[in-house]
Chains A and B, each alone.
Chain A
């Protein structure tokens, strides 16, 4: 779906969703956000596997939050495998409690 020197975005079959591997910062946030937007177009709760993401900056988290804010009222973005330090970032930036975003603690098995 998208790749650069430090990042790959790909579809996963079970469960249906997207896996990202690599590092997200301002050099590729816009591209990542665009590829995610195209993919999640309503329907079931989308899964996003970040267990192979070694870094997300605030711009990347902002993109995920933007995606979560676009979810339908009964839909949630299920995020798997976010590193503990990055979960802290999500909390202290005030974004941990969005209704459209759920952090799953299933060791990134998406």
Chain B
């Protein structure tokens, strides 16, 4: 339990790298990548296009052995990052070999709601991989631009931290079980909604029409308004089937987005259900997975005797370029020469 070296990975190693400035970023990441390349481990780097450029230059020919993906696409909705890592691990894992990843999901211009969901994502990585295959994920945090409380949370969501060039266990790591606990972080206060309706079985058509109408009036194009109605319908369906038979829908508009909130009396106790890619088995749940693939942000909370789901759709459609994320576009951005 004392080995801080990432080269001896026999289980999932989730590590935060605290850096300030480009030189520290390069010094903290390049040896990690090079070690992986030297041992023939598959390496995937999910970073901003600028950092990918920096890393490619610093890695020189080793860059040819590394997969790169754009975090602004993969992580536009942070709930799509775990499926991308799952895909990477499942495709490239071979018995007896580890894998490596670098992923920087949090940057200073992330909106407040996105930041909280990214922090939830960091915790859920422990749940998704903590008891699975051995691989090593390094998550850079820019201490020059991120607030101290963001760094503090990274100490709780990562089992290891690299600070000032040395790796050690994080004393504040919350552990796998606490990472899986129901999430009840406060939601942003909402303005008076444009609409607030209760619904039960038989009302879904009315729910869809209301969402569509409001979304179009707020400035979403027809296709994205329809898509938001599809996602809201699934969440409301969950309320009817699993959340006490009814729910409350509220719709409002923020500066750059439309938000639909569904509130019911259900208990949400499957922390990864919205980010586990459903298999072909028809009975496996799909509603919240679908919502994450269709919407720009999905916030799920369990409060006292209530489950709340907020679906965000940005007015600017360019923010949703990675709509059909998964396999196709991830592959397109992951280029590994022969």
- A and B: bona fide binding partners: yes
Which A residues contact B (CB, under 8 angstroms)? 6, 23, 25-27, 55, 57-59, 62, 65-66, 69, 84-86, 88-89, 91-95, 98
- Docked Cα-Cα span, A85 to B226, in Å, equals 8
- How far apart are A8's CB and chain B's nearest CB, in angstroms? 15
- Consensus secondary structure, chain A interface: helix
Contacts of A62 in B (CB 8 A): 282-283, 286
Establish whether residues A25 and B290, one from each chain, have CB atoms under 8 Å apart when the complex forms. no
Q: Which B residues are CB-close (under 8 A) to A27?
A: 201-202, 204-205
Complex CA distance for A33 and B204, rounded to whole angstroms: 19
A20 to B234, CA, bound (A): 21
List 6 A-B pairs, Cβ < 8 Å: A25-B237, A57-B230, A88-B323, A92-B289, A94-B286, A98-B280
> Is the beta-carbon distance between B324 and A88 smaller than 8 angstroms?
yes
Distance in angstroms from B108 CB to nearest chain A CB is 30
Q: Pick the contact of A94: B205, B223, B278, B323 (CB < 8 A).
A: B278
B338 proximal to A (CB < 8 A): no
Given A26-B237, A66-B282, residue A92 in contact with residue B205 (CB < 8 A):
no
The distance in angstroms between the C-alpha atoms of A93 and B280, with both chains bound, is: 9
CB distance from B205 to the nearest CB of A (A): 6
Q: Which residues of B contact A (CB under 8 A)?
A: 201-202, 204-205, 208, 223, 226-227, 230, 233-234, 237, 240-241, 277-280, 282-283, 286-287, 289-290, 293-294, 323-326
CB-CB < 8 A to A89: which residues of B?
Answer: 230, 290, 294
* A21 CA / B326 CA spacing, docked (Å): 31
Please give the distance in Å from B276's CB to the nearest CB on chain A.
11
In contact, A6 and B205 (Cβ under 8 angstroms): yes
CA gap between A91 and B282 in the complex, in Å:
14
Contact A69 B282 (CB under 8 A): yes
Would you call B208 and A55 a contact (CB within 8 A)? Answer: yes
Which listed residue (B201, B290, B323, B325) contacts A93, Cβ 8 A? B290
Q: Which residues of B contact A85 (CB under 8 A)?
A: 223, 226-227, 230
Which B residues are in CB contact (< 8 Å) with A95? 280
A59 CB contact (under 8 Å) in B208, B237, B280, B323 = B237
Bound CA span A9–B289, Å: 29
CB distance from A83 to the nearest CB of B (A): 8
Query: B324 to A26, Cβ gap below 8 A?
Result: no
* Chain A residues near B324 (CB-CB < 8 A): 88, 91-92
**Nearest CB in chain A: distance from B246 CB, A:** 13
**Known pairs A88-B323, A92-B324, A93-B289; A26 contacts B241 (CB<8 A):** yes
Q: Which residue of A lies closest to B234 (CB)?
A: A58
Q: Is the CB of A93 within 8 A of B205?
A: no
* A57 CB contact (under 8 Å) in B223, B234, B278: B234
- Assess A94 versus B287: contact at CB under 8 Å? Given A26-B237, A26-B240: no
